Amino acid sequence: MTIDSARVSENERTLLARVPKGLFIAGEWRDAAGGATFGVEDPATGDLLAHVADASAADGATALEAARAAQPTWAATPPRERSDILDRAYHAVVERIEDFALVITLEMGKPLAESRGEVRYAADFLKWFSEQAVRIRGDYRVSPDGQSRLLTLRQPVGPSLLISPWNFPLAMITRKVAPALAAGCTAVLKPAEDTPLTCQLLAEVLSDAGLPPGVLSVLPTSDPAGLVGPMLADERLRKVSFTGSTAVGQNLLIGAAQNVLRTSMELGGNSAFLVFDDADLDAAVEGALLAKLRNGGESCVAANRILVQSGVADEFAERLADRISQVKVGRGTEPGTQLGPMINREQRDRVQLLVDDAVRGGATVVTGGSAPDSDGYFYEPTVITGVSASARITHEEVFGPVAPVYTFDHENEALRAANDTRFGLVSYAYTRDIGRALRVAEGLEAGMVGVNRGLVSNAAAPFGGVKQSGLGREGGFEGIDEYLSVKYVAIDKP
């Protein structure tokens, strides 16, 4: 396979020129303290898209001071006003869907149709949390001895550091920024180095929507440890919310211990996708395609291990391979593209290593299995069967368009295999038997379960994992609680 991608067009250059390139601190765009910048690449071609300011520890301290200074006023701002700002930002993002989608596609690579889907999903968090800002509750209890009253109220945690990954350059950010702002927390946001441009556009939208200076700062950087390390040690910070790999999350938890920060950790996954003999096989194949290839497989909720009951395993693998081999690979801006490039060379090479390791352990490549000839970081959509339990791909997040298919005989065996991982983000089960669906949903060690659905993400649902997939929840009623502390007030019986 050879892929010859179009280079950056005039239209794309015009849009990129309009994206702010500075650091956003205290309501203004400015250069980094040391004047440094770093480049952002088009993963479909390796072309340079833009340079953005490169924040250092000094910029982190300035942004944190702005967040500290703005915190009391923002916390005291009427919830309805905070809600209105988020609502205006929601409408602005939806109105500018084409700009946001194109910037996402340019810097992250996914097809434009998927980028539009991400923009809608991301905007939903602004809408949802604009609605939650005015619903922060407390309560009034009578002590068991009847002698006092126990009042509880929820107050903003305080200045929060938000760190996001590159795979959903907008949605992983609004999922944090919207509840933080709704709760009355000020925030400093560090986007991923590969995809800072989408975040710059969002900062512009929030500022135009009326967000007061200092409430949100945005600091792209090429030195995440150098920026974040000192911030975690700074007593002005009260919370860190992170989405990314388990390895980085573990380090941040150690750093957060210094100041006993509130933490939210949305980490890696190793999702099992179970297909039972009694499943609707058409639906299961379509669900697996979605759970595997959405976002090019570069998703924490991607189906990492597809486990199929022996009665339907051969037919399922054949049908999945047939569908996957027809997927059109190309630059995300090209009409008809269904799978874009991977984010960078390192991720692409890592996927190849995992496939090669599985093949060395006895697996068969049914379709795909290599990187096409191109200037970008493409990888062929791939199905492999006969993967051993000890292969690296069985235990590590593949984060690419590779579907390993395994076989099982009994329900208990499937559950044991599904749970045999240090991760616990999401799992999926396809069956027509409601009893089995509930048994399996209860037995899976995961924060989320998709029953006869290959997609669980929804702004109104609590997203998050168990085990080494993380701490806390984003979205739903739970998402705002991550940015609120409960205060209890004791008062004598009136």
* Residues involved in catalysis: 266, 300
Give the CA radius of gyration of the chain: 23
The residues near 155 (Cβ < 8 Å, ≥ 6 apart) are 75, 184, 484, 485, 487
Count CB-CB contacts under 10 A for residue 471. 17
Alpha helices (H) along 36-96: 57-76, 79-95
Per CB under 6 A, does 233 bind ligand NAP? Answer: no
Per CB under 6 A, does 380 bind ligand NAP? Answer: no
Contacting residue, 41, 59, 397, 481, with ligand NAP by CB under 6 A: 397
Sign of CA dihedral 297, 299, 305, 311: negative
Give the whole-angstrom CA distance, residue 409 versus residue 389: 15
Question: Which residues in 287-316 contact ligand NAP (CB under 6 A)?
Answer: 300
Per CB under 6 A, does 240 bind ligand NAP? Answer: no
Question: Which residues in 176-205 contact ligand NAP (CB under 6 A)?
Answer: 190, 192-194
Q: How far is the CB of 73 from ligand NAP (least distance, A)?
A: 28
Contacting residue, 86, 267, 449, 459, with ligand NAP by CB under 6 A: 267
Give the whole-angstrom CA distance, residue 305 versus residue 260: 36
Q: How far is the CB of 449 from ligand NAP (least distance, A)?
A: 15
Chain residue at closest Cβ approach to ligand NAP: 244
211 residue type, one letter: L
Give the whole-angstrom CA distance, residue 338 versus residue 381: 10
Per CB under 6 A, does 160 bind ligand NAP? Answer: no
Cα-Cα-Cα-Cα torsion 225, 231, 234, 240, nearest 10 degrees, comes to -110
Contacting residue, 12, 42, 266, 481, with ligand NAP by CB under 6 A: 266
Q: Please, is 419 exposed, middle or buried when counting C-beta atoms within 10 Å of its C-beta (0-12, 13-18, 19+)?
A: middle
Q: Which one of 76-84, 101-109, 166-174, 482-490 is the stretch in contact with ligand NAP (CB under 6 A)?
A: 166-174
Name the residue nearer to ligand NAP (CB basis): 163 or 329: 163
Q: How far is the CB of 251 from ligand NAP (least distance, A)?
A: 6
Q: Which one of 44-52, 94-102, 107-115, 260-268 is the stretch in contact with ligand NAP (CB under 6 A)?
A: 260-268
Give the whole-angstrom CA distance, residue 110 versus residue 339: 7
Q: How far is the CB of 300 from ligand NAP (least distance, A)?
A: 3
Say if CB 129 and CB 181 are below 8 A apart: yes
Bridge partners of residue 140, in order along the sequence: 151
User: Angle at Cα 266 formed by Cα 260 and Cα 267, nearest 5°?
Assistant: 105
Per CB under 6 A, does 165 bind ligand NAP? Answer: yes
Contacting residue, 101, 205, 228, 308, with ligand NAP by CB under 6 A: 228
Per CB under 6 A, does 52 bind ligand NAP? Answer: no
Note the residues at the interface with ligand NAP (CB under 6 A): 163-167, 172, 190, 192-194, 224-225, 228, 243-245, 248, 251, 266-269, 300, 397, 399, 425, 465, 470
